Structure 1
């Protein structure tokens, strides 16, 4: 797990900073099973969705002052998959429902914090993705290039 204390951070002020598709790299201290990619996409109108492993999810997000952030009204499809995939999916969805703040690192990672005492959900730009048929935002393309 990377040490976040050596990085500089920026708060999220608007949906344009989140816009695009992100790949979940870790959930707290748990690395994501790379054979089952977890993807989260944000748009500028406070919608969020993605692939939680087995099922797709949709919801809404809210940006508050000083990095405050929440994901609400999460809805899932109801497919059944192998137990390890379902366990990882359940962990991600439960953590997303409890996200309370977010930050961008100087390396372009998006961190979703769900508890002050825990490591965040760590997302990386998905540089190969298209969201709603449109290319990644210029901000996200720059983050993906490093």
Structure 2
């Protein structure tokens, strides 16, 4: 069976790689990063707008998808594959870019009480039934709904109708409390099971988070503390005076920040004290979550919180 999504992607790719390359256009979400792309009507250039910036990229031959590269900078590129794309700036790869409602592939979802697990890849579902253990079963899927809110898939398992509905809304695991970027509803033979799905990294990566509160004490006026999450489990930012960075690990149980290092500039005593306090709190962080107002909340083992909001600066 050919899904609506797959058919759309094939059509876009076929058109874009023909003798007269057609424009790639649309809005994408690369984790927390919003990207808009459109033909610049100048020598087939592609305009890429993000964070108040604009890149002009030139088309380049590609074995797969439609590739645009910055003149003189092969480490800045936009590779479109229909509703999905890869965006890289000066070697930094953002999370997979998705148009509204699209899902990263493979897409995984789980539910509890009873436990079930589903993995969607292309037109196939690997599925562990509720109440049962053992090897997952393979099911041919058809995409029956594809819109800006999510996707709906249907299939048949041993004569039983199966429906998997995915909505792009924040979801919290009913047992661990871990957050995921999608709510999932599984319907099997008349029974309904709820769960969460998607890559949790997408909730945190792609944004510069500006700290506004340290353990309820606020921060010094006009000072700047930031946190950014990058590929390969790297994080970095400004700690008030100095730049800092390290490695992070995000699991179902929480998050940890390790191997932190910082530059050694000296600033006013008040800023240095604030910086020391921030780095101390970061070393104790055990949980990361998105709050009801879209803020990043990092919670230490002692219950103290660092709160940050996405940067609105260009």
TM-score category of the 2 structures, normalised to the smaller one = 0.7 to 0.9
Aligned residues: 120
Of structures 1 and 2, the one scoring higher in RCO (CA 8 A, sep 6+) is 1
- The answer to whether the 8 Å contact 1:55/1:77 transfers is yes
Q: 2:233 aligns with which of 33, 41, 46?
A: 46
State the Cα deviation string for residues 48-96 of structure 1 (Å, max 9, x = none).
1000011000111110114x11111100000111100000000000100
Mark the runs of 5 or more structure 2 residues left unpaired by the alignment.
1-169, 173-177, 181-199
Task: Quote the RMSD (CA, aligned, Å).
Answer: 1.9
* Bigger-Rg structure (1/2): 2
Mapped pair 1:79 → 2:265: yes
State the partner residue of 1:141: none
Mapped pair 1:21 → 2:208: yes
Q: 1:91 aligns with which of 271, 277, 282?
A: 277
Q: TM-score, normalised by structure 1?
A: 0.75
- The answer to whether the 8 Å contact 1:18/1:43 transfers is no
1:51-130 to 2 correspondences below 5 Å: 51-66=238-253, 68-118=254-304, 120-128=305-313
| TM superposition outliers: structure 1 runs of 4+ over 6 Å | none
Q: TM-score, normalised by structure 2?
A: 0.36
Mark the runs of 5 or more structure 1 residues left unpaired by the alignment.
1-7, 130-146
Q: Secondary structure at the match of 2:257?
A: strand
